[in-house]
Structure 1
């Protein structure tokens, strides 16, 4: 905030100020410079005592003089305008995104629980969940999924987006796949992404973007889900370090009718397989902190593109 130098000998200054104002009534705004010159001529020092009102100056300036000084200074007006301006608000503030890191660390030790059948959609049923895959060295998919989801969560929150996670640790069981869909639905998420890694053939590489052939949300949700897939395809190509899958689907896209998390969605949702953990090149990316950051950035940027383009 711009403040004004404390001025003593107020009666003399007031007389000069009033005279200057009268004399310069038609001098095209040059009066604005007069108060600064007056202050400097009365011994004002940089960094010295300052004030913005008669109260702050201990009553040395009559209220009329203080008002004149304030209203005649463009710098003061600009400063006041800047101070009054509201803080910029992210256009994404208030948007909700659901992130679904696949599987969970406790699934392997609770085989009976995750084997229970749950609705898959359209009258079909499937197992509550599975353990997921892992690399030849034992690096698990559930750990990878959760690590990436946390990175994506942080990136989205930096943009003012509210993030809902289907699980908040990597040691519990589930939730079941139908419940994962319900979490995003209940949050009325603007977008939902399920994060996985595949366990494909050793010679196969690349990411996959899985979409429901048909969801309970209807054709509008399905079209929006496809656009979300298109936006993530673009960011994965640019940022992830992964190629579109070489062993399944078409150019990185794969429609599916057997995934409860996609079938049961009522919000735009896709599942991304972030590479093949059985392939040495993909696994090297997945196991490196840098690789996971690039994958997370691709997911977050794809979601942001979708949301800012009207998703």
Structure 2
């Protein structure tokens, strides 16, 4: 175990799987105490059980679209551990998909509720707690290369992630006087259940067509970047959106075509819940 984060308290949303899970584990390995939230209570229970360290890891069922729920997550870190010093806004969903003219407005709104509103609520309540303590803090938002240009993902998801990038810059400016740094990570295609789903083999086979780096990203790669952003070596870094995409954006994003080799997002519209444990809803597009 390292002492890099010893004495610090971290809050992680969407911490039960994928990048969130890897980051929870990395924070613990570096000496932090962690409170994480998620909708998928079975996945969360497995992480708590395998970690077996109740003095340093606690789970709070959390719906990031609900302000009361997010406030309770942050309060658990404050009441239980005296924090937070760190917030990783990681929770997300695949959200609305399908042709733009077929997307249901409610699915669009829920995409933004989870990705954009959830990130805002986490920042709002964690920053309040950090300001009250007077010791500064660090917030990292999980954005995406999809939020940096066209062709990186479904339209609603990409637009919501672009909002995360812009919010990060503005929050960094506003919170600097309180010595609270705010940055975003922008992953490319990472080998997680959220991204790979049932098409893992097909996506990996097509890797050379959309990314110059010869291996898929791992959740642990992004967790390492988050660790750098919350650690002592990045104290002059705020308002940044840092890409970790295997050179995808430098080459030109091809994610939508590659991550959907069966063309479902052209033949169906609906909403995918990612790793929340809730079922994807899809409806066929007329004429498809």
TM-score (norm 1): 0.35
Q: Looking at secondary structure, tell me which structure has more helix per residue.
A: 2
Larger-gyration structure (1/2): 1
TM-score (norm 2): 0.37
